[in-house]
A and B are shown apart, each in its own frame.
Chain A
Amino acid sequence: MFAPSAPTRLGTVGIPRAERLVNLVLCLLSTRQYLTAERIRNIVPGYADTGSEEAFYRKFERDKAELRDLGIPLETGRNSVFDGVEGYRIARRDYELADIELASDEAAAVAVASRLWESPELGAAARGALRKLRAAGVRVDDGAPAPVEPRVRAAEPAFPSLLAAVRAERTVRFDYRKPGETASFVRTVDPWGVVAWHGRWYVVGHDRDRRAARCFRLSRILGSVNTVEPGDEAAFVRPPAGVELLELVTGAEPNAVEPTSVRLWLARGRAQGVRRHAEVLGDRELAGKPGQEVVLELEHPETAAGWLAGYGPDLVVLEPETLSKAVHEAHLATLAAFGGEHDGQ
């Protein structure tokens, strides 16, 4: 247990910065009058021993910036028209979190929500919010597990600058490459929001060149996101009333379709990744190799060619012919790319 003696408690030598700042907040919260920097220098411990005028102002500016970074509403103003310089105070009603009480199931929900972010900035912000709720008297048991713990990452380099642009309603410009395209294009977008769906981040907004709402996957943005100076562009286009950002992202996805039956030959004991989805029809030898004939239901057989081609000689597509051809062509293309020789068919 600590028990500092009275003299050290009032000592002013080497007052730590954190202590000076806490005292500054307490002082400005307790005053209705605006206090000038000069008054603050005389009152708040930790400033009096600052050497020159210039050194004091430097220190005071830094302290003010730190308080504002924390979101402390530092007001400036004059007590009367005769005052020569502005002073400072903190209005209690702007500083204090409103009363809040959470039932235990509500607090449990907040605990799970505060653990959601696997991103340094958002995670720190959520923990900061939780700390303040606890300080407001809310009991939050952080250890209570959820049946499944959701986690969301935001690791894409473009994420912070896009979110900032969304909040500030600033037009952005970035280099974007659509999947499968050789060239990238510069896109100019008024961003309305960032959306996470199926673990991927998208930015949704008004595409200035296409004059329509568009969504862009963050992982396909090349290089940095730059804000466009408001001066040289038309006003920021806001989302139309009632627009659902999520729907703009999910709407771009194809709907589920009827599955197609695919018949395959698999070498014995191989291609486990295919086998676990397949039904064995019976044993069959192919070119003297033992194996089985199987059937597999695929929703998008046209996109399965790559997956099936990966199994090489452990798998042969029997049906449908389009898929069989696609896999065959994939192998021919591989040989061409790797400089192998084959007489083809």
Chain B
Amino acid sequence: MTGSSTAERLPRLLALVPYLVSRPGVAVAEVAADFGVTEQQVRRDLELLWMCGLPGYGPGDLIDLSFSGDTVTVVYDAGMRKPLRLTGQEATSLQVALRALSETPGIVDTDAVRRALTKIENAAGRAHPAGMVVDLDERPDRVPAEVEETVERAVRQRAALRIRYYTASRDAITERTVDPLRLVLLEGRRYLEAWCRRAEGMRLFRMDRVDEAEPLEEHACPPAEARTTDLSGGPFRPSPEQPRVELELGPRARWVAEYYPVDELTELPNGRTRVVLRYSDRAWVVRLVLGLGGRGRIVSPEDLAGEVRSRAEEALELARHLPST
């Protein structure tokens, strides 16, 4: 993040003076961390502010800062002692988020959330009709209580864990040792984000697919390169290196395009849709399409379509061996 374009920089410049006024002698490094920019950028901002002031623009009219070591103090603020009030969008984004947290026990103290919300509503002044409600309730997935407790404790205590995990893409259950980083609540589901020693990479484990969890007498030691994932693209992260399958979905199979991230989506006549999906495991595609029961079909590749066909034939053949009831 450079933080140097005017549109990005101006709100920061306007906030910097009151920020410094409220924290005499603050370290430049702390300023940088609070504003999410580099120390170098903070220094450039301070240099600019030092050129600004009130009409007259003489020595007594300009913003004055004093530096001592790596800390900074405002000597003269040119009348900018308070930040600009919140915009409608700023107030909404924070208030909707706080309201969501206040209705969800177990994340932060809901009483503290309500107190903070009242104070922010008062400070924001005008009532901002939000027009937006976020509910953080989880989907009714079955996560055994003892698994949930064990994982939560391991995250809190930064302890390594052994988990028994169901990987849906491979329809396989594996034992893994993981170094937990955090628990994330995303799209109504809980995920454990951890370094997986078996895969040697960061993984998001869906909590309702963790069948067993056992704490290890060992600190979590994720390698230095372990970083929390950018979740803006959702929990599934298809990559362009993965093979693609082109599907044609009937109206009753359209949920596939809503449930899985699709690369391309083309609307066809009669409510049909053509989509391209990325996959890591052939058997997963075969299971998905078999489960659609003819409401969707594979356009390409041809060999995958053949696999679906022969699996359906085998299933029908096998069912014939059932004693009739």
User: Measuring CB to CB, which residues of chain A are less than 8 angstroms from any residue of chain B?
Assistant: 1-2, 4, 9-10, 15-19, 21-23, 25-27, 29-30, 43-45, 66, 70-72, 94-103, 105-110, 112-114, 116-123, 125-137, 142, 145-153, 155, 163, 166-167, 177, 179-184, 191-200, 219-220, 222, 245-246, 250, 256, 270-273, 275-276, 286-287, 289, 305-313, 316, 318, 321, 324, 328-340, 342, 344-345
Whether B32 is near chain A, meaning CB under 8 Å from some CB there, is no
Question: Contacts of A27 on B, CB cut-off 8 Å?
Answer: 54-55
Q: How far apart sit A4 and B166, CA to CA, in the bound complex (Å)?
A: 63
CA distance A342 to B50 in the complex (A): 83
B288–A310 touching, CB < 8 Å: yes
B100 and A147 within 8 A (CB): no
Complex contact B308–A125 (CB within 8 A)? no
Q: Complex formed: what's the CA distance from A298 to B202 in Å?
A: 33
Could you tell me how many residues of chain B have their Cβ less than 8 Å away from some Cβ of chain A? 138
Are A18 and B6 also in contact (CB < 8 A) when A149-B184, A193-B133 are?
yes
Residue of A nearest to B122 (CB): A98
Q: Which one, A16, A119, A310, contacts B232 given CB within 8 A?
A: A119
Known: A128-B90, A129-B93, A129-B94. A136 touches B22 (CB 8 A): yes
Shortest distance in angstroms between B41's beta carbon and chain A's nearest beta carbon? Answer: 12
A-B contact count (CB 8 A): 421
**Cβ of A182 and Cβ of B271 under 8 Å apart?**
yes
> Which residue from chain B places its CB closest to the CB of A2 in the assembled complex?
B47
Which residues of B in the span 111-131 have a Cβ within 8 Å of any Cβ on A?
A: 112-113, 115-116, 119-120, 122-123, 125, 129-131
| Contacting residues, chain A, for B19 (C-beta < 8 A) | 134-135
Q: 19 A-B pairs, CB-CB below 8 angstroms? A: A16-B48, A18-B9, A25-B80, A26-B80, A95-B82, A95-B84, A105-B112, A112-B101, A113-B97, A127-B36, A131-B34, A132-B86, A147-B152, A166-B132, A177-B271, A199-B187, A199-B189, A246-B133, A272-B173
Tell me the bound Cα distance from A72 to B79 in angstroms.
16
> Does the CB pair B83–A151 fall under 8 Å?
no
B322 contacts A by Cβ under 8 Å: yes
Q: Determine if B91 is an interface residue (Cβ-Cβ < 8 Å).
A: yes
Contacts of A45 in B (CB 8 A): 57
**Are B258 and A135 within 8 A (Cβ)?**
no
Q: How far is the CA of A160 from the CA of B250 in the complex (A)?
A: 29
* Distance of A101 Cα from B120 Cα, bound (Å): 9
Chain B, 72-115, contact with A by CB distance < 8 Å: what is the 0/1 string? Answer: 00000011101111111111111001101100101111001101
